[in-house]
C-alpha cells in the first residue's frame, strides 16, 4: 500500500524484498493504503497473478489511475518551476505513471468469489470472506499442508464495523492457526452511529437554516456513499432543508457508479433504496460535478449548498479550492467524517488551527469545524475482540496496520478480555506463521 501524510516520502524507498521473488499477490480491498504501490511492484519485477474480488478490481483501477494522474500532474508542475531555476534534474520522477497502472492489468488477474476456495499454489489454497469494510473488501483464509495435517492462516485486511449504512456486517471465521489482524482503532470504541448521524444532521440543518454552506472532505470510496445514503434518507424523511448537494469528486462519482453495479453486495437499506427508486444513491437534490467548470461554478453558490469533495485528508483535490472559497465564512461549516493523518491540512484544521495555507495563500478559518468520528469503516476495539472471540481455534495473533500506542492498548485489552497475548509486528522483522 501507499504511505500518506508525513510518511509519503517512504513510497520511493525500495521494498524490503525482491518483487521478482513474489509468486502471488492477494489483495484484500481497494483503498490506496492497500493497493497504492502495486504499479511499483509490477514495474520492479513482480510477474505473478493478482487475486481480488471483481468489485475490488473495479475500484482499484479507479484509485490507481487517479493516483497516477495526480503524481504526473504534480511532477509537471514541479518540473516547470525547477526549469526556471535550472534545477530540473533535481525533480523526483512520479512513483508511477498511468502507463504503469495499465501494465498492472496485463498481469493474470483472478476474480475471488466470497466463500469459494481457490488453489493459488501447490498444496496451498485461499478463500475470500466479506470483511464489511468497503465494497469488495475481504479477509483471506490461507490453508496449506504441513506434514500430515493442514494449517490455516487468516489475514484480516481491514474489518468493517457493526453498522450497516452501505456495507453489510463482516463475516466471521472459525479457525486460524495464525491470525494477522488490523489494529487501526484498537485503542477505542466508536460512539454509536445513531448519535453520529444525529450530530451530522443537526450541523447540516443548522448551517443551511443559517444561510450557510456545508463542506465535507470525504474519501471517495465508502465514506462518500455513506454520506449520500444519510442525505438521501434525510430527503425521504423531509428533514433536509432546501439545498443543493454537490458530489464534487470525479473519483467519488466513478466509485459510486461501481457501487451501483454491485447492489447485491450492499446493505439491506441500499437494496431497499434500489427497489424503491431504481437507484441506490441518487435523489432529486443531488448533483454530480465531474467537470472542472462545473466544480468552479459551485463557488457562485453563496448559501444552501452541501459540498462533498476529495481528498478525504485534504492533501489535494477539489476540497482545497472549496476551503479557499468557503472556510473564511463564519456562516459555513466544515464536517470531518474520516481520519486525518499527521502532516495533513485536515489534521491541522481538526487540531484547532486558526489559519491554513492553501495554494501559498494564508486563509483565516472562521467556519465552524466539526469532527464526527462514528462514520469509521474500521472495527473498533470491542468489535475486533468480538470478531476474534468467534474463533473456535485461534493460535498466534499478530497486530498490524495501526500506530504503536493503539496496538499496545489493544494488546492489553486482549490479554484482559481473551487471555490472549498478541504479538505486535515490527517492521522489517521476519515472522514464521504456523
Q: Can you give the pLDDT at residue 342?
A: 83
Which residues are CB-contacts of 226 (< 8 A; sequence separation ≥ 6)?
165, 166, 337, 375, 377
- This prediction's pTM: 0.92
Q: What is the pLDDT of residues 167-179, one digit of tens each?
A: 999 999 999 999 9
Q: Can you give the pLDDT at residue 7?
A: 85
Q: Do the Cβ atoms of 228 and 407 come closer than 8 Å? A: no
> Cβ-count burial of 164 within 10 angstroms (0-12 exposed, 13-18 middle, 19+ buried)?
middle
**pLDDT tier, 315 (very low <50, low <70, confident <90, very high otherwise):** confident
Q: What is the pLDDT of residues 372-402, one digit of tens each?
A: 988 888 999 999 999 999 999 999 999 999 9
Q: Can you give the pLDDT at residue 338?
A: 87
Question: What is the pLDDT averaged over residues 232-259?
Answer: 97
- Rounded Cα distance between 352 and 330, Å, is 15
For the record, the C-alpha cell of 389 comes out as: 472471540
- Rounded Cα distance between 384 and 47, Å, is 34
Q: Grid coordinates 486460524 are at which residue?
A: 176
Q: Do the Cβ atoms of 5 and 342 come closer than 8 Å? A: yes
Helix (H) or strand (E) holding 67: helix 54-85
User: Hey, how many other C-beta atoms are within 10 angstroms of the C-beta on 322?
Assistant: 27
Q: Can you give the pLDDT at residue 90?
A: 92
Structural domains of the chain in order of their starting residue, each with its CATH number: 5-188+377-424 (3.60.15.10), 193-375 (3.40.50.10890)
User: Hey, how many other C-beta atoms are within 10 angstroms of the C-beta on 181?
Assistant: 25
**pLDDT tier, 203 (very low <50, low <70, confident <90, very high otherwise):** very high
Q: Do the Cβ atoms of 381 and 189 come closer than 8 Å? A: yes
Residue 316 confidence (pLDDT) above 90: no
Residue 146 confidence (pLDDT) above 90: no
- Rounded Cα distance between 82 and 88, Å, is 5
Q: Can you give the pLDDT at residue 376?
A: 83
Residue 340 confidence (pLDDT) above 80: yes
Amino acid at each position: 500500500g501507499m504511505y500518506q501524510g508525513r510518511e509519503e516520502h517512504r513510497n520511493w524507498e525500495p521494498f524490503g524484498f525482491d518483487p521478482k521473488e513474489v509468486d502471488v499477490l492477494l489483495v484484500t480491498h481497494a483503498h490506496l493504503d492497500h493497493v497504492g504501490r502495486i504499479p511499483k511492484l509490477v514495474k520492479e519485477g513482480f510477474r505473478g497473478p493478482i487475486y481480488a474480488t471483481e468489485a475490488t478490481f473495479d475500484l482499484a483501477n479507479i484509485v490507481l489511475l487517479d493516483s497516477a494522474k495526480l503524481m504526473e500532474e504534480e511532477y509537471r508542475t514541479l518540473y516547470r518551476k525547477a526549469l526556471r531555476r535550472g534545477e530540473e534534474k533535481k525533480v523526483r520522477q512520479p512513483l508511477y505513471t498511468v502507463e504503469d497502472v495499465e501494465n498492472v492489468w496485463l498481469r493474470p488477474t483472478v476474480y475471488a468469489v466470497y466463500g469459494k476456495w481457490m488453489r493459488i499454489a501447490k498444496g496451498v489454497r485461499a478463500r475470500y470472506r466479506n470483511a464489511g469494510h468497503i465494497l469488495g473488501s475481504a479477509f483471506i483464509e490461507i490453508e496449506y499442508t504441513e506434514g500430515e495435517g493442514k494449517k490455516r492462516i487468516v489475514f484480516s485486511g481491514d474489518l468493517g464495523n457493526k453498522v450497516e449504512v452501505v456495507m453489510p456486517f463482516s463475516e466471521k471465521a472459525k479457525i486460524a492457526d495464525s491470525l494477522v489482524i488490523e489494529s487501526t482503532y484498537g485503542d477505542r470504541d466508536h460512539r454509536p452511529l445513531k448519535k453520529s448521524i444525529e450530530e451530522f444532521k443537526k450541523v447540516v440543518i443548522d448551517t443551511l437554516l443559517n444561510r450557510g454552506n456545508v463542506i465535507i472532505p470525504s474519501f471517495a470510496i465508502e465514506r462518500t456513499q455513506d454520506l449520500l445514503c444519510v442525505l438521501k434518507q434525510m430527503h425521504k424523511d423531509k428533514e433536509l432543508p432546501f439545498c443543493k448537494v454537490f458530489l464534487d469528486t470525479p473519483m467519488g462519482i466513478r466509485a459510486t457508479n461501481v457501487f451501483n453495479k454491485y447492489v447485491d453486495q450492499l446493505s439491506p437499506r441500499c437494496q431497499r433504496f434500489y427497489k424503491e427508486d431504481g437507484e441506490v444513491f441518487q435523489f432529486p437534490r443531488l448533483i454530480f460535478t465531474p467537470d472542472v467548470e462545473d466544480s468552479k461554478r459551485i463557488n457562485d453558490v453563496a448559501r444552501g449548498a452541501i459540498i462533498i469533495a476529495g481528498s478525504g485528508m485534504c492533501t489535494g483535490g477539489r476540497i482545497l479550492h472549496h476551503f479557499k472559497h468557503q472556510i473564511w465564512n463564519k456562516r459555513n461549516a466544515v464536517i470531518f467524517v474520516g481520519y486525518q493523518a499527521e502532516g495533513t491540512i485536515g489534521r491541522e484544521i481538526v487540531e484547532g488551527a486558526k489559519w491554513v495555507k492553501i495554494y501559498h495563500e494564508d486563509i483565516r478559518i472562521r467556519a465552524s469545524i466539526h469532527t464526527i468520528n462514528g462514520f469509521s469503516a474500521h472495527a473498533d476495539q470491542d468489535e475486533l475482540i468480538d470478531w476474534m472471540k468467534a474463533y473456535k481455534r485461534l493460535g498466534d495473533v499478530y497486530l498490524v496496520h495501526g500506530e504503536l500506542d493503539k496496538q499496545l492498548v489493544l494488546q492489553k485489552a486482549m490479554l484482559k478480555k481473551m487471555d490472549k497475548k498478541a504479538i505486535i509486528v515490527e517492521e522489517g522483522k521476519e515472522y514464521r506463521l504456523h
